[in-house]
Amino acid sequence: MDKEFVIAIVGGTGSMGTALALRLAAPGVRVIIGSREREKAKSVVDSLKDKISGGRLEGDTNQDAVKDAEFVVIAVPYEGHAKIIADLKGQLAGKTLIDAVVPLQKGRPFVPPAGSALLEAQTILAGEAPVIGAMHNISALDLQDTKAPLGDVLVCGDGAEAKDKVMEIIRRIGATPYDAGPAGNAYVVEGITGVLIALNRKYKSKHASVKITGIDQH
Ligand SMILES: NC(=O)c1ccc[n+]([C@@H]2O[C@H](COP(=O)([O-])OP(=O)(O)OC[C@H]3O[C@@H](n4cnc5c(N)ncnc54)[C@H](OP(=O)(O)O)[C@@H]3O)[C@@H](O)[C@H]2O)c1
């Protein structure tokens, strides 16, 4: 994969977006943080700049953030998911979408009418860009500490080439990706986050994550 790829994070001003931006900027990836408000994106970038050594973070509206990007991460709450994908439709050809969205209602997981957030995005985009699900089960808390060890990342989706590229990005941030199957598996991967939230509540933790064992591939 091109070493100099650009990645936009739609909803990049939130917990997940800022943490992922720090992780990606650490190895020198150019990251554009997207927001519904350009000024908010710029001020979030300013607040993060002293945490990275290079100057590879930028901020813009979601619409403008995706223009230059080869990869577009969707990191908005589920309530805004379908609308944001529909709003971006027409600008995503040639890009790969990385959908990190977990359908949650009051902290509990549910299966949306489309079958999963990933399938919802895929249906809305109708083939304009491959949609790969990833990062659902990793906490922003772990991501934001760029020196903390990361757990495993289950990656699902239908485009083999796109999935390989996303797995490469996940290696780049220091996590271990696993190909967790086709887009049809996304509801399971998204739902695991609901289990992790329950584990956090039960065991008074903040960053439960998944660990795959029994596979000798890395
Ligand atoms: N936090 C985690 O540890 C974590 C872990 C795994 C997966 N996830 C998933 O990642 C996604 C983002 O999580 P988060 O914790 O970062 O969420 P968040 O902080 O609540 O929201 C992220 C950003 O989304 C934008 N946003 C909020 N409501 C929106 C709407 N209705 N339409 C469009 N944009 C909206 C906001 O940015 P602007 O106001 O700047 O537009 C906000 O800063 C969620 O789907 C979550 O399930 C989170």
Reported as a single tens digit per residue, the pLDDT across 62-108 is: 999 999 999 999 999 999 999 999 999 999 999 999 999 999 998 89
Q: What is the pTM of this model?
A: 0.97
pLDDT of residue 151: 87
Q: Which residues contact 80 (CB under 8 A, 6 or more apart)?
A: 11
Mutate to test the pocket of ligand 1, among 16, 22, 32, 120 (most ligand atoms within 8 A of CB): 16
User: Rounded to whole angstroms, what are the CA distances from 1 to 42, 163, 179?
Assistant: 28, 12, 18
Structural domain boundaries, residue 139? 6-202
Query: How far is residue 162's CA from residue 71's CA, in Å, rounded to a whole number?
Result: 10
pLDDT of residue 55: 58
CA of 79 to the centre of ligand 1 (A): 9
CB of 102 shorter than 6 A to ligand 1? yes
When pLDDT is cut at 50, 70 and 90, the band that residue 59 belongs to is: very high
Residue 55 lies in a domain: yes
pLDDT in tens, 160-180: 999 999 999 999 999 999 999
54: domain CATH number? 3.40.50.720
Residue 213 lies in a domain: no
Question: Residue ranges of the alpha helices (H) in the chain?
Answer: 15-25, 38-48, 62-65, 81-88, 117-125, 140-144, 160-172, 186-202
pLDDT in tens, 179-205: 999 999 999 999 999 999 999 999 999
Residue 167 lies in a domain: yes
